[in-house]
A and B are shown apart, each in its own frame.
Chain A
Amino acid sequence: RIMPVRWSRYNPSYLEPEVKKESYQKPLEELTEEEREQMELKAVRPIKAAPPTLSSSVFSDPMISKFTNMMMKSGNKVLARSLMSQTLETIKRKQLEKYHKAPENEKVTIECNPYVIFHQALKNCQPIIGLSNITKGGKTYQVPVPLTDNRKRFLAMKWLITECREHKHRRTMMPEKLSQELLLAFNNEGPVIKKKHVLHKMAEANRAYAHFRWW
């Protein structure tokens, strides 16, 4: 039996699989030059196997899958995914409650889509500069340093998850606490945003050391 393994190193000529249905439904004339070249290349080169987490459905979201993976403990993806869906459901319920109780003119401002709330909350939590330890003359200094997009996303998600795991009452469920934190972050309040501000303040205090960077 041959086991298809994604983690083995592919030959560099292998291309990434294209999963979105819309890209295949476009008629030939609408494609640009680059896209035509890309299609011709795909006809000749071999393609990597698609990972099981990559899906073509409308409901799948790469950020949400990344967040679910970070929440997962010891490989229990079933539990992590159920927690995530319960979180989104709780957010929707809370927002709908607020929506139906609010007067007519405020109904437009209330956001009910949990995916929008999740993305906006993550964006609000992302730090803009980070600190890195640089040793110079025997002493280590905390130098303000720009971060890459991946690092920002990772830090935002990590802060959210640690915050929910640590500062939680023993009896509160994770989806409940997570939905609370996400709603607070959506409105730029809450402990995660405070942590981000603390990081920014430290970077600002150490801005004199910014010249120690060599990149």
Chain B
Amino acid sequence: MAAPAYPVWVTRWVSGQWRNKKRPPTLRPPRALALAAKVANRRQEATCITEMSVMMACWKQNDFNDTPCAKEIEVFYDCVAKAEKERKSQNEDTLSSRGNLPSSKVNKLLKRFPQITRYV
């Protein structure tokens, strides 16, 4: 047997090179490993989609007439009015339905009390 061809990782392991820090770093952080000064924008999902789809199914059956679908349309309007009221009342300090503050408010609070990175 002439020089047996082992794969590269075997030779490296056997030579003990890998243990002595002569290897590429295990972790290459893409960003600095620290909390940022802002929170990501939490997107609200669209409201009243179920009611809308129910209404559209009713339309499809009744050839887009409004009179046979009056009940579904009323339900949709109620849902829209409720969502609108929720949005208006959302401008208070607590988003009570989810239990979290809206992200813009959190960002404002964080800006008021910033992280001190250096002492002067």
Residues in chain A within 8 A of chain B (CB atoms): 124, 128-129, 144, 146, 188, 197, 200-201, 203-204, 207, 210-215
Contact = CB atoms under 8 A, between A and B. Distances in A.
A167 B44 CA distance: 43
Contact of A188 (B44, B65, B80): B65
Interface string B40-79: 0001111111001101100110001111000001001000
A204 B62 CA distance: 13
Contact of B80 (A146, A197, A207): A146
B87 interface: yes
Contact of B56 (A207, A212, A214, A215): A207
A207 B52 contact: yes
A144 B43 contact: no
Contacts of B80: 146
Contacts of B76: 128, 146
Contacts, number: 42
Interface residues of B, number: 21
Contact of A214 (B44, B55, B67): B44
Given A129-B52, A210-B49, A124 B64 contact: no
Contact of B46 (A129, A197, A203, A213): A213
Contacts of A188: 65-67
Contacts of B66: 124, 128, 188
Contacts of A129: 52
A188 B70 CA distance: 14
Nearest to A198: B64
Given A128-B73, A204-B59, A144 B52 contact: yes
Contacts of A144: 52
A210 B52 CA distance: 9
A68 to B, nearest CB: 27
With most chain A CB atoms within 10 A of its CB, the pick from B44, B46, B55, B67 is B46
Contacts of B67: 188
Interface string B79-93: 010000001000000
Contact of A204 (B56, B73, B87): B56
Nearest to B79: A146
A142 to B, nearest CB: 15
Contacts of B48: 146
A101 to B, nearest CB: 27
B48 to A, nearest CB: 7
B64 A197 contact: yes
Nearest to A124: B66
Given A144-B52, A146-B80, A215 B46 contact: yes
Nearest to A129: B52
8 contacts: A124-B66, A128-B76, A144-B52, A204-B60, A210-B46, A212-B46, A214-B43, A215-B46
A85 to B, nearest CB: 30
A200 B59 contact: yes
Nearest to B56: A204
A215 B59 contact: no
A215 B87 contact: yes
